Structure 1
């Protein structure tokens, strides 16, 4: 299992649907989150894309030098850039970052936004374009010179001069719930992503995409995009979930849902069906909460509970075939720490992460007790020992002072 975090380039807050508790997302704040994710041991970070976001490529590039191991899952959008330019960008980023680029293929789901970007293809037409795009992109990064003429794209003598560090190229991540999207996934991508649907629905998608890929002679790995609200107790976690949407009123929900209705994304439609625009029954599966999707596009569900419960739910997804968990929480800086501290010790991570990478003498193990004693795993476990130690010290006669 690997766990990623999220850079909120479209805004961050303690509460949804209000300016109360909101914070500016500038470079320094994004840098804080990236450095925290890197230090805590998250395997990578997802950067969202779209007109509501700071540009993912510019942002990710600016964070390379602030991080050491962290990988960046950055969007490539067929139809908004040429495959050859995208291949050169990928090669440069991968080389400069030391092999830390992951590619998120995004076909787009909002026709109004796409029209503003000059892309007027319908839903299936965009996936046909994506298929042609990836055919060219993959061959170029394999070192081939490409001549290609399709319905949407044409290149002659296309070639990338500088090779990527990762071979054969940076891994391709992709989420598409429609038949057209799943066909593209089966033919091209390395990791198929699903938003956080109930386990049975995720299982059905995994089995179908796995079967499609097998017909192409390929194998695919799987990931899931979820929010997480983890606290030391279940009661605290559900309280935090309800507080997150406490300022979201019915008018805000209605306005958000009307915008989502214009999307032709099958994944967005599936997210909307989980709550149907109502807060009446938001726990759609054990500990899977759809409250975020009332006003947020894309990933709209969160795992809610104490560390043991959330870890167990993640392991249930893992048993279905999910290897990569792309998580986030509000606000993203604090929740990165909370997630790593509470969840990482309970998860079968694919490399040492978080507190297992302890190298300092004290930090980050906690503050010394009485300026003298290292803290234990649970403070109460050592209270008697510390008291006995203090008693022994106090019972000793004062030392003679040398004259």
Structure 2
């Protein structure tokens, strides 16, 4: 059940630094993701009233810190959810980077703690640790990092991390540093979330599975005397009617062939990520049963790692599904859609007005040729008639 703290939600958008287009798994409809395009997406998210943007991390992406640094100066309110990588970054360096970007963005930085679940990619980055060892590194990293962000001078000797006299000279804007986000479904990950994280993230599984996972995190955090906030990562395909939305979902994977799906699933199978295994199990690489819950579609996960599900339907239907997740205690919703520029506008226009946002613009903030909305009629009249909802 929701409580007073869960009555409002924060809605994020996504910066597609690994590529974008109108179709999955093909060059057809693809587009260059360069700085001007990322600027367009970020400015759209900022102007449309999204709370923040998630910037992904990994070898398939542009570097999230450099992207955030390039986009912070041209945005006003938008927050940037940027990854730190335990085992890939020393905690002291990560703390200096975080405090610097928090100051330069005037307190608009959020931190996504990413342990990494692809052994092949990890080896390319010089990380040859087991799944369990990587989470030990994550715990030790956060022990040092959080103390540094609180302004402490740190001596620490763990199994993997050892620092003496570590400190950050210039403090962050946000007290004790930017909030920490983190996702993971294994026992080790849940231990990290319960003990050290501000917001626990889950991928978009059916509500019953999400409820089960959050209950475990909530209970484990309570045993430590802590409360954790919760977030979910989903794609969104929202249209004026349900029929249009499902047609758009079908178009998104219209160019996928069986070989492309098989290649992607083979890569996902090599990973030791419990969360990725749970995502893959929702469809098992098959197109046959992609609707896994009301308005929840697993088609994206046929070829995309990580978040592989989308809410599909009319704005009213998608808003109802969001309320179901909100009732589980989720207050942070990280959405995306293909292509990300156009879909940011579509989600903002159709869906955001139906949601209880804890953020966004006030009507007085929009003063330039925006009220009432629509194109001027005949050169001197503003439209007054509003079309009825579909």
- TM-score range (shorter-chain normalised) is over 0.9
Query: Would the alpha carbon gap of residues 247 and 160 (structure 1) be closer, same or farther in structure 2, given more than 3 Å must change?
Result: same
Residue 231 of structure 1: how far off its partner (Å) = 0.3
**For 2:282, what is the secondary structure of its paired residue?**
helix
Whole-angstrom CA distance in 2 between matches of 1:52 and 1:73: 17
Which of 223, 232, 240 aligns to 1:224? It is 232
Confirm or deny: 8 A CA contact 2:199 2:228 kept in the other structure.
Answer: yes
Q: SS state of the match for residue 100, structure 2?
A: helix
Q: CA RMSD for the aligned pairs? A: 1.4
Change (3 A) 1:379 1:356: farther
Structure 2 unaligned residues grouped into runs of 5+: 1-8
CA gap 1:321/1:380 in 2 versus in 1, 3 angstroms: closer
Contact 1:362 1:374 in 2 (8 A): no
Contact kept in structure 2, 1:40 and 1:354, CA below 8 Å: no
Scaled by the length of structure 1, the TM-score of the pair is 0.93
Determine which of 77, 83, 89 is the counterpart of 2:91.
83
2: CA distance between counterparts of 1:147 and 1:341? 51
Instruction: Note closer, same or farther for the CA distance 1:356–1:126 as it changes in structure 2 (3 Å cut).
Output: farther
Alignment pair present for 1:204 and 2:212: yes
* Secondary structure in structure 1 of the residue aligned to 2:23: coil
- 8 Å contact from structure 2 (residues 372, 382) kept in 1: no
Which of residues 106, 123, 128 in structure 2 aligns to 1:115? 123
Partner of 2:383: 375
Where 1:275 maps in the other structure, the secondary structure is coil
TM-score normalized by structure 2?
A: 0.96
How far residue 344 of structure 1 moved from its aligned partner, in angstroms, is: 1.0
Distance across 2 between alignment mates of 1:355 and 1:110: 45
Report what 1:393 is aligned to: none
CA contact under 8 A between 1:290 and 1:301: conserved in structure 2? yes
Q: Which of 360, 366, 385 is matched with 1:358 structurally? A: 366
CA deviations 1:129-180 (Å, max 9, x no partner) are: 0000000000011010000000000000000011111112100000010000
Distance 1:160 1:276, change over 3 A: same
Residues 344 and 354 of structure 1 are in contact (CA less than 8 Å); yes or no, is this contact kept in structure 2?
Answer: no
Matched, 1:240 2:248: yes
- TM-superposed deviation, 1:375: 1.5
Describe the superposition over 1:193-212 as per-residue Cα deviations: whole angstroms up to 9, x where unpaired.
Answer: 00000000110111110111
Decide whether aligned partners of structure 1 residues 380 and 117 sit closer, same or farther in structure 2, where only a CA change above 3 A counts: closer
Structure 1 residues 9 and 380: alpha-carbon distance in aligned structure 2, compared to 1, 3 A threshold: closer
Q: What is the alpha-carbon distance in structure 2 between the residues aligned to residue 21 and residue 369 of structure 1?
A: 34
Q: 2:291: which partner in 1?
A: 283
Distance 2:308 2:160 in 1: 33
Cα drift, residue 351 of structure 1: 2.3
- Shift in CA distance, 36/354, structure 1 to aligned 2, threshold 3 Å: farther
Within 5 Å, give how 1:10-49 maps onto structure 2: 10-49=18-57
- Deviation, 1:240, is 0.1
- Alpha-carbon deviation of 1:355? 7.0
TM-fit CA distance, 1:364? 7.8
Alpha-carbon spacing, 1:128–1:8, altered in 2? closer, same or farther (3 Å):
same
Q: Relative to structure 2, which stretch is displaced further, 330-339 or 207-216? A: 207-216
The CA distance in 2 between the partners of 1:248 and 1:22, in whole Å, is: 14
The answer (yes or no) to whether the contact 1:257–1:295 under 8 Å persists in 2 is yes
Between the two structures, name the one with larger relative contact order (CA 8 Å, sep ≥ 6). Answer: 2
| Total equivalences in the alignment | 381
Indicate if the aligned counterparts of 1:3 and 1:44 stay in contact, CA closer than 8 A.
yes
Secondary structure at the aligned position of 1:226 is classed as: strand
Question: Stretches of 4+ moved more than 6 A in 1?
Answer: none
**Residues 51 and 360, structure 2, Cα contact 8 Å, conserved in 1:** no
Q: Structure 2 matches for 1:286-325, cutoff 5 A? A: 286-325=294-333
8 Å Cα contact 1:80/1:117 also seen in 2: yes
Deviation at 1:330, TM superposition (A): 0.1
